[in-house]
């Protein structure tokens, strides 16, 4: 805008209204741009990059989720195709050799003696000692 144009515009205005010089207005706009607009544009640029990165991450996670859903369905179909397990048969208890009724009665008779009671006491003490030691080892491990 030329200075003569500026003078013509100011001549048409009512008194008391000042119109700034065009060079001054351009300078003020440049300062506003430098102080406010550039930082805002930089912030917008960084935020749009972050949004783009997050959108890409969302796409990757959705693809992974969809892949896992397909895998789950395939595993369910595979499980459905497997035959039903046969019902368990009742196990018949077989008495091991050396533990016949007669041998157990003979062992009971031995335990009724003083020596037998001492042996049983020692066996019980060893069993408790091993149990406490095992529990301590598990707790410490």
Res 1 pLDDT > 50: no
Percentage of the chain beyond pLDDT 90 is 23
Q: Are 57 and 36 in contact (CB under 8 A)?
A: no
Burial 104-115 (b: 16+ CB within 10 A, else e): eeeeeeeeeeee
- CA torsion sign, 69 to 75 to 76 to 78? positive
Residue with tokens 């020692």: 122
Q: Give 140's pLDDT tier (boundaries 50, 70, 90).
A: confident
> Tokens 């069993």, residue?
127
Apex 104 CA angle, 98 and 106, nearest 5: 110
pLDDT, averaged across the chain: 78
Arithmetic mean of pLDDT, 66-84: 88
Query: Domain spans of the chain?
Result: 8-81, 109-140
Q: How do residues 11-67 score in pLDDT, each as one tens digit?
A: 566 666 666 666 777 888 888 888 888 888 899 999 999 999 999 999 999 999 999
pTM over 0.85: no
Q: What is the CA radius of gyration of the chain?
A: 47
- Asked if 6 and 22 count as a contact pair (C-beta separation under 8 A), the reply is yes
Share of the chain above pLDDT 70, in %: 72
């Amino acid at each position: 805008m030329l200075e003569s144009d500026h003078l013509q515009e100011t001549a048409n205005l009512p008194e008391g209204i000042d119109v700034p010089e065009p060079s001054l207005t351009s300078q003020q706009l440049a300062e506003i741009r430098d102080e406010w607009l550039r930082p805002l544009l930089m912030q917008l640029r960084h935020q749009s990059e972050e949004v783009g990165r997050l959108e890409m991450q969302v796409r990757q996670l959705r693809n992974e989720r969809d892949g896992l859903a397909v895998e789950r369905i395939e595993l369910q179909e595979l499980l459905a195709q497997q035959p039903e397990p046969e019902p368990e048969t009742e196990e018949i208890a077989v008495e091991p050799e050396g533990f016949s009724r007669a041998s157990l009665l003979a062992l009971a008779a031995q335990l009724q003696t003083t020596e037998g009671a001492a042996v049983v006491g020692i066996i019980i003490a060893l069993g408790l000692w091993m149990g406490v030691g095992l529990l301590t080892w598990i707790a410490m491990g």
